[in-house]
Amino acid sequence: MKKFKKIAIYPGSFDPVTNGHIDILERSKRLFDKVICAVGTNTSKSPLFSLEEKLDMLYHTVPKGVAIDSFGGLLVDYAKKIKKEYNANQMIIVRGLRLTTDFEYEDLMFFNNTKLDDSIETIFLPSKQDLLHINSSIVRDVTKMNPDYIKDLDVPKYVKQKLREKYCSKK
């Protein structure tokens, strides 16, 4: 098995994946030996898309060379499993930041993850300015209120198609 020096996990709910997510993945690919886009299951959320639908959208939209996976439970436990599986020297969690409110939440997560396993690093990548406005919640809300706006959203073309199928079939 090939040994990877630095493996990055970009975790999220990706409900749905946006151009902001894709940008973070593209930039992460330039920084690490291997990048895994991992869909976490959060039992406290009511997702629009099923895990299978999210994975399908990721398979059709993430940059070539990015691995796609899913996990349940704690991210730290998943990172430990991946580190062992790939015999990695270092595990890095990549988190995208749009606004200061993102930083406050992500910094808290970083602190707690470090308490659980201080060998797993976290890096924050700021969003590009032209993508600061987009997040999955906004995509879901706008599309639910008026599916005509799907064309204007900063999501990959394949995701727009899946949003149309989801919302326009409910009419």
Give 90-135 pLDDT, tens digit per residue: 999 999 998 777 787 888 888 888 998 999 999 999 999 899 888 9
Q: What is the C-alpha to C-alpha distance for residues 62 and 37, in angstroms, rounded to an integer?
A: 8
Backbone angles phi, psi at 13, to 5 degrees: -90, -25
Residues with catalytic function = 21, 45, 98, 136
Are 4 and 115 in contact by the 8 Å Cβ rule? The answer is no
Give 52-78 pLDDT, tens digit per residue: 999 999 999 999 999 999 999 999 999
Q: What is the C-alpha to C-alpha distance for residues 157 and 61, in angstroms, rounded to an integer?
A: 8
The Cα-based distances of 42 to 13, 24, 48, 51, 74 in angstroms read 8, 21, 12, 11, 10
Backbone angles phi, psi at 40, to 5 degrees: -90, 145
Domain extent listing, the chain:
6-133
The identity of residue 137, as a single letter, is S
63: cis peptide before it, omega within 30°? no
The Cα-based distances of 36 to 11, 44, 59, 138, 144 in angstroms read 8, 23, 12, 25, 30
In 3-state terms, what secondary structure has residue 122? strand
Q: What is the C-alpha to C-alpha distance for residues 33 and 83, in angstroms, rounded to an integer?
A: 13
CATH topology of domain 6-133: Rossmann fold (3.40.50)
**pTM, two decimal places:** 0.92
Q: How confident is the model at residue 170 (pLDDT cuts 50, 70, 90)?
A: low
